Amino acid sequence: MAFLKGVWRFLVAIKDGLVLLFLLVFFGLLYAVLSAGPNPGAVHKGALLLELDGYVSEQPAAMDPVAALLSQRAPVREFRQRDISRSLELAMTDDRIKAVVLDLDRFMGGGQASLAAMSERIEAVRKAGKPVYAFATGYTDDGYQLAAHASEIWLDPLGGVLPTGPGGSRPYYKGLFDQLGIKAHIYRVGTFKSAVEPYMRADQSPEAETAMQSLYGEVWNEWRRDVAKARPKARIDALLADAPAAVEAAKGDLARLALSNGLVDKLGDRVAFGKYVAAKVGEGRSEVIGSFAETRPEALLAAHRAPSDGSPIGVITISGEIIDGKGGPGVAAGDSVSELIYQSLQNDDLKALVIRVDSPGGSVTASEKIRLAIAEAKKRKLPVVVSMANLAASGGYWISTPADMILAEPETITGSIGIFGVLPSGKEALAKWGVTTDGVRTTPLSGEPDVLGGISPEFDRVAQAVVEKGYRDFLARVAESRNKTIDEVDAVGQGRVWAGATARQLGLVDKLGSLDEAVAEAARLAKLGEGEWHARYIDPQPDFASTLLGGLMPEPAQADLPTDLFGRAAWEQQLLFDHMASDLRMLLSVKGAQARCIECAAAAGVPLTAAKPAENWLGSLFSILR
């Protein structure tokens, strides 16, 4: 009896402990969520500090806390471009903000259109009479594009500035597949649809090289024009003419080289920079040497409510890869995005709809689902305007076709009107291990696609015909929306990508303009005058569990992000391996025909792995090949 009582007390103790643990976790999560919100009272006299430790994007992806905890790499933070731009606008008029500080030490970049929008706001702050100070150990092209618009650019004496321009190598897997006995069955339409070339070639096709060379050149020229206009004294062209000779002449001192060529104004470490800013805006409350009085953008945004006078113009951002099913922010999941659009249309007070597209495309079926949802707005007599951000290619252009008007940025990458499908088969790979296949068929298509025994020629013909039909559908949608013939669209289609300015000349977009200009156009189409409307941003919300767990996640460790040029080079290497793993994973996981432009993200400067914590790259490749 005594033994049973002891067991009972032991079980009760376990139960009480688990209840206590649950309560502690629950209240800890609740506290984390409640304390995570911005505090309007945190606006102090001093500088607006934009500490951009991570990437800038149109719609930050929802972080998976469980995956982040299990990952070997800390997640990299994403900043919403719209929030950064608005905080800069508020800094112009808020008397408490004396200056703006751009801390670009761990800035990992963003899309060219997003950076151009932020650069315009930085210029506006300067015109409002408030200085802008920039600091970094090493400036990348993206970081320097922002810094060039600052009043003063500081550089750590151990750092440097060395523009490189877009471009670089891309992995091709044909030789690997031949050795492994893997065959990639490619179904595509479009001479320039190069997304599948890594699976079918060992090098770049002449058509792809021509298209990408033209595109990269146009994007790079936009960067050079922007920097030259913002900072005329920067002798970048002279530096680019023979960078190795210039570095050797400077005896490897990249900081002095940048200073002598007018790329930066002053050399100094973070402490010296902080003291300099403190002398301008006031000392900081922190006891850390070199701190200055500061306000974070979250606090400034919380202190100034967004305008709400007049009728609302709905703004929905469609960002990321277009996939089937459901997904959170930063992923254009067909079911979730279309549902969000349909829900927004239930608001009778909505007078127009603006779709902000920042996507390289993806699933054809998901793209069509989103397109139909946007078309529903037109059926309800709502004006629809598409605003293209960094990317609106392939499926990203597909979903843009119902619009009454399409606006793009000069740096936007768009077009890529083409379709492809890809399926792997491993008959030869299995044969190397003594595995063969056999069976009975009732029709030529029985058991197809047979990824083990080899995909049959009959299935190849069926798949190619389906893809060709998808391309004809794509052409028809574009022709109808752009008032062109099928042949005219086909001439600028074939999978070729275009920069925004060229796309306007070709008639793929109507005007060049920013998101703000797109919203103004929507208001004009809705016959609303100045002061009679406001933008209502309709964003997807992360699920409750992610919000709770995310509240307990610490900020991404700064040590994970490099600051000097060599550290950034190592980081780019890691991203390359992640990209290779993603390429191979796509070969195995792609579902259905794809209207996707894989190479467009690199051309637009959009990081593919911005928010996804990656596993060890070697383990990732091994698991895929296994």
Active site (annotated) includes residue 326: no
Omega of the bond prior to 65 within 30 degrees of 0, cis?
no
- Asked whether the beta carbons of 593 and 467 are under 8 A apart, the reply is yes
Active site (annotated) includes residue 620: no
Residue whose entry in the numeric block shows the structure tokens 């151009």: 116
- Which regions of 238-299 does DSSP assign to beta strands (E)? 266-267, 294-295
Strands 311-319 and 533-538: parallel
Strands 311-319 and 332-333: unpaired
Helices (H), 156-269: 174-180, 197-200, 206-230, 236-241, 243-249, 254-260
- Which regions of 513-560 does DSSP assign to beta strands (E)? 533-538
- Kindly give, in sequence order, each residue whose CB lies less than 8 Å from that of residue 68, ignoring residues fewer than 6 positions away: 74, 75, 553, 613
* Spatial distance between the Cα atoms of 70 and 382, rounded to a whole number of angstroms: 46
CA proximity to 389, closest of 85, 147, 13: 85
Burial class (CB in 10 A: 0-12, 13-18, 19+), 9: exposed
* Spatial distance between the Cα atoms of 398 and 421, rounded to a whole number of angstroms: 17
How far is CA 117 from each of CA 190, 294, 362, 397, rounded to the nearest angstrom?
32, 23, 26, 21
* Spatial distance between the Cα atoms of 82 and 319, rounded to a whole number of angstroms: 13
Instruction: Sheet with 107-110: list strands edge to edge.
Output: 77-80, 54-57, 107-110
Burial class (CB in 10 A: 0-12, 13-18, 19+), 407: buried
* Given 98, 193, 351, 427, the catalytic residue: 193
* Spatial distance between the Cα atoms of 396 and 332, rounded to a whole number of angstroms: 10
* Given 344, 394, 514, 620, the catalytic residue: 394
- Asked whether the beta carbons of 111 and 60 are under 8 A apart, the reply is no
Dihedral sign for Cα 50, 56, 58, 63, please. negative
Residues acting as catalytic residues: 193, 394
